[in-house]
Structure 1
Amino acid sequence: MINKVYNADSRKLLEKLDKKITVKTTITSPPYFDMKDYGNDNQIGFGQNYQDYLNDLQKIFHDIYKITEDDGSLWIVIDTFKRENQVVTLPFDLSNKLKETGWLLQDIIIWKKDKTVPWSKNGFVQRKFEYILFFTKSKDFIYNKDRVRNFDTDQLKKWWVKYPERYNPKGKALDEIWEFSIPVQGSWGDQYVRHFCPLPKEMVSQMIELSTNNDDIVLDPFAGSGSVLFQSAVMHRNYVGFELNNDFIEMFSDYFRKTFNKARKEYDLLQNLTGQNEFESRILDLRVLKYAKLLIRDIDKVFSTYFKIFALKIGKGDGKHKILKVNYTLVGEFDNEDEIIVKINEIILKPPFSKFGIEPKFNFVKNKMASKDKHYGYLKSNSYSYQKSLDLESPLIRIISDICLDLNENDYL
């Protein structure tokens, strides 16, 4: 029953599936009401009145609710339109219909796109976005937000270099505006069907990543060009689709046969890249060194003892909000260790230290050897770029670590 596109009316979805499968998420864009003829006499939308259209959609999504797993979800891409000289708020009318069937509206996302379907009406500004409605079956649902964080440093403000504690080590979280261009005709290949409203595969991929895991089942009751189904298969998910237009199904099958293996290899290759892991490591390294810099700043305000700090990562943190264990060794001639440690324990419980996710361990030594081959030195004023021109014994070097950072914030404007 899975990994198949049914040439059938999605209003009869349960007759075909007979509740023998359970769906993790549904991703779809319903037919535009009375605006596009998709080539079937029994289609939803075109030729219907508005209330019948809403009722049919309500029935379909209620049936989908019945076969959705308890931690499952529903994504609907949909837009307003204009009739009788006024805007019809289809996304919100449909949302209210779905709430009656049990679906919980968790979010409304704006899909900002460069191109639009080719129609315009007086009173409308240029159409640049559609709505994405995100529903769940229950309050406990899959939402893999860390998988889709933005870890491209070129897209972050330069502040991430100086303020690593402000950024999640996994990257910047999604916001409520998603920018994806509509695929141009032919971008799927010359052999592929010319569909009215194809969804961008990058956007579909993001929805799949957020709401499913490998081997889960993804459903599209209005499969159309098959972008949801194809991307699901590429990403090691199973799929089920419904589509009335058999030409679309045949073209999808042909395209799948010719391009799937290459697309899967490309996806697997990207999954093996360590971009996010590298970003996470870099953010944590920045935090370790900045934590040491702030310690020196605050201790210098109270005590006159000169010292350096050796900073060494020693493992993962144990607490919920403690990401990393770090050993900070204070090197110098101390006659007031007890007073200093009392001060340290006082300040690290408060911001900014409490924001770093660091579980610190402190100790004091009179001397500690540093190796120019293994260690890097940092100034009290700059913990994100090691000093190439200064010897590690220089009194200007206050932080020594095996962490090597050489970042210029101006490179990330």
Structure 2
Amino acid sequence: MADTSPIPPVDSEVPEGYGLYHADTRSHYDTLTEQFGDVDGQLIDTTITSPPYGDVKDYGYDEELQIGLGDDYEDYLEELRRVYKQTYDLTKPDGSLWVIVNTFKKGGRTIRLPTDIADICENLENKTNCDKCGAPLTKDRETGVHYCTDDECSFEYDSIADSWVLQDIVIWDKVRALPYSGKGKFRNVFEYILCFSKQNDFHFDLDKIRIADATEFKDWWINYPERYHPRGKVPDNIWEMVTPTQGGWGNMTIDHPAPFPRPLVERIIQLTTDPGDVVFDHFAGTGTVLAQAEAMNRWPLGFELSDDYVGAYSTLREEIIEEWKERQAEGNTLEEEQARLAQKIWRLRQLVFPRKLLQSLPGSSEERDLGELNINTVFLDGCADDELLAARETERVPLKTAIIVDDDTSEAARVELTESLAAAQEEDPCSAVPVDADVSVQTVSEFVGETANEFEASPLYLYDKNDYNYPAGTITIETWDAMVQTPDGWRQNHVAYEYPPVISNLYLNVDSDGKEVVTDIEEVRASEGGATLTDF
């Protein structure tokens, strides 16, 4: 056999010892302990793997070294148990094990390999008999505790305490698959992904794998952005990911009987690790897991016996890393997609705030007549810091808000409106919008003469007719001042459902599918009469 020193990562900053080992995974604990020293519970962060399928698949190398090939099924499971036990011993307390596996048919019946793997992983010591009396143990399927079958013996054994714990089962919908079927067997288009951990509190960061695709939302997210997470929707437990095309049909160099789709590996790595963590695959094949881990700045570790697969690894790794760099350069990684969605949702939350504020005024919607409040415009100086809006840690943003009323509004009416708006901020739906709003009520003259400079920006965007998700155009304070001198004409052109237009430094141009609504955004200009807009 070839030298068992690993094929090292491309990144020279990764410590020595990481990479792909051309060695037998049945002794990976000894190999890695020899390489790294005493690393019990300190080495691996997550393992992403798929077991060899016993007699079902021949992986093209020495039959005596292939786990399960030519073996009794029970012996095959015991070999897998020993492999998973070694991985358990090397995994950190908050680490996890992900096993992609499927059932198969043999002798006319379906072999429930996923269930059997779950059983062996949750009883790594393979304790089957009572320590006290030697009688067989029986397992409580609900608790996982094993009890002695001798009624006079009180022995109990909790195998979970020193074994993997099955946390969840995901269905991998392969979308397309080999068109094989047969009598008593449908075309197989899915596999199971078993998620195990060493403890219940394990590394599992769902926010990092949220689907940053507005089409996954309901159409009304545009009107209720406060109800949607800025980084997208949590995936469900059915993952639609196309099986990589084998041979010469795809863009990648893949020639393996069971290749992983890159997005599946990427998702698990994002979910369970951080940069610098160790990603392991004890049945590495051509090395998709290791290559994707290295591309994402994790430390790759894996074992593979096939000369052909090990020989293909360097080429596949180069392609995967190059593809990842291209995605980073184009801003097409999930992290970048989440950042862009978060920026849109935070801007939208700020732009809809005035509507939520007015909806929260005392009294029922039937009793409120917003037209009688003399509000003609709302100016917003919002948070436009892309870095802050994209940050996962951002929970609230500041928002300076000026409610502009007509010059002929009485002082008493302004005071009453100010008090009502202050109370409205504590009521639903306004209170659900995560902004720290500084709200003032001003007449047109007061605003122009005293505080307009606090809202001045270039450009300012006009959002009108109750459409706060895309601008009607850009506008200057001078143009707005000229146009609003005829309040009725201004309202006729820009108010819808009694909600006033918003003028803001914030730019947003998005429909319910996350796409741009308008392509040409022109400046709004006052006509000679100062009450209408030019066409644009």
Q: Does 1:251 align with 2:305?
A: no
C-alpha displacement of 1:67: 1.0
Q: Does 1:196 align with 2:257?
A: yes
Query: Deviations for 1:255-285, whole angstroms, at most 9, x for unmatched residues?
Result: 44x5466345325425687443222111111
CA contact (8 A) 1:33 1:50 kept: yes
Q: What amino acid maps onto 1:69 in structure 2? A: K
Query: Deviations for 1:335-387, whole angstroms, at most 9, x for unmatched residues?
Result: 25665455445544444334332232322333323669532333363222333
Q: Which has the higher contact order (CA 8 A, sep 6+)?
A: 1
Cα distance in structure 2, aligned partners of 1:384 and 1:254: 46
**Aligned match for 2:240, one of 176, 179, 201:** 179
Q: Does 1:404 align with 2:481?
A: no
C-alpha displacement of 1:409: 4.5
With 70-79 and 90-99 compared, the bigger mean Cα shift is at: 90-99
% identity of equivalent residues: 31
Residue in structure 2 matched with residue 379 of structure 1 by the alignment: 464
Q: Does 1:24 align with 2:45?
A: yes
Cα distance in structure 1, aligned partners of 2:17 and 2:116: 31
Q: Does 1:74 align with 2:143?
A: no
**Aligned match for 1:207, one of 256, 268, 289:** 268
C-alpha displacement of 1:155: 5.3
Q: Which secondary structure does the structure 2 equivalent of 1:311 belong to?
A: strand
Change (3 A) 1:237 1:205: same
Q: Which sections of structure 1, spanning at least 5 residues, go unmatched?
A: none
C-alpha displacement of 1:129: 0.7
Residue in structure 1 matched with residue 340 of structure 2 by the alignment: 278
CA contact (8 A) 1:117 1:197 kept: no
Q: Which secondary structure does the structure 1 equivalent of 2:200 belong to?
A: coil
With 246-255 and 226-235 compared, the bigger mean Cα shift is at: 246-255
Change (3 A) 1:356 1:240: same
C-alpha displacement of 1:218: 0.9
Residue in structure 1 matched with residue 322 of structure 2 by the alignment: 262
CA contact (8 A) 2:204 2:271 kept: yes
Cα distance in structure 2, aligned partners of 1:411 and 1:230: 32
Cα distance in structure 2, aligned partners of 1:37 and 1:223: 15
Residue in structure 2 matched with residue 357 of structure 1 by the alignment: 434
CA contact (8 A) 2:458 2:505 kept: no
Residue in structure 2 matched with residue 326 of structure 1 by the alignment: 399
Q: Does 1:90 align with 2:90?
A: no
RMSD: 3.3
With 41-50 and 299-308 compared, the bigger mean Cα shift is at: 299-308
Query: Deviations for 1:286-324, whole angstroms, at most 9, x for unmatched residues?
Result: 11111211222443827732223222225879xx99422
Q: Which secondary structure does the structure 1 equivalent of 2:345 belong to?
A: helix
Cα distance in structure 2, aligned partners of 1:295 and 1:154: 27
With 220-229 and 202-211 compared, the bigger mean Cα shift is at: 202-211
Cα distance in structure 1, aligned partners of 2:330 and 2:270: 14
Change (3 A) 1:361 1:106: farther
Q: Which secondary structure does the structure 1 equivalent of 2:373 belong to?
A: coil
Q: Which secondary structure does the structure 1 equivalent of 2:280 belong to?
A: strand
Q: Does 1:34 align with 2:55?
A: yes
Cα distance in structure 2, aligned partners of 1:68 and 1:205: 20
Query: Deviations for 1:216-246, whole angstroms, at most 9, x for unmatched residues?
Result: 1111000112111111112211111111222
CA contact (8 A) 2:379 2:401 kept: yes
Q: Which secondary structure does the structure 1 equivalent of 2:290 belong to?
A: helix
- Structure 1 residues 153-168: aligned runs within 5 Å: 153=214, 156-168=217-229
CA contact (8 A) 1:181 1:200 kept: yes
Q: Which secondary structure does the structure 1 equivalent of 2:292 belong to?
A: helix
CA contact (8 A) 1:297 1:380 kept: no
C-alpha displacement of 1:65: 1.2
With 338-347 and 231-240 compared, the bigger mean Cα shift is at: 338-347
Cα distance in structure 1, aligned partners of 2:76 and 2:428: 55
Change (3 A) 1:191 1:204: closer
- Structure 1 residues 299-314: aligned runs within 5 Å: 299=361, 301=368, 304-307=372-375, 308-314=377-383
Cα distance in structure 2, aligned partners of 1:217 and 1:67: 11
Cα distance in structure 2, aligned partners of 1:411 and 1:359: 26
Cα distance in structure 1, aligned partners of 2:287 and 2:19: 11
Q: Does 1:287 align with 2:372?
A: no
TM-score, with structure 1 as normaliser: 0.86
Q: Which secondary structure does the structure 2 equivalent of 1:100 belong to?
A: coil
With 342-351 and 2-11 compared, the bigger mean Cα shift is at: 342-351
Cα distance in structure 2, aligned partners of 1:190 and 1:409: 33
Residue in structure 1 matched with residue 296 of structure 2 by the alignment: 235
Change (3 A) 1:109 1:346: farther
C-alpha displacement of 1:8: 2.5
Residue in structure 1 matched with residue 20 of structure 2 by the alignment: 5
Q: What amino acid maps onto 2:57 in structure 1? A: K
Larger Cα Rg: Structure 1 or Structure 2? 2
CA contact (8 A) 1:182 1:199 kept: yes
Q: Which secondary structure does the structure 2 equivalent of 1:159 belong to?
A: helix
Q: Which sections of structure 2, spanning at least 5 residues, go unmatched?
A: 1-15, 125-162, 485-489, 518-536
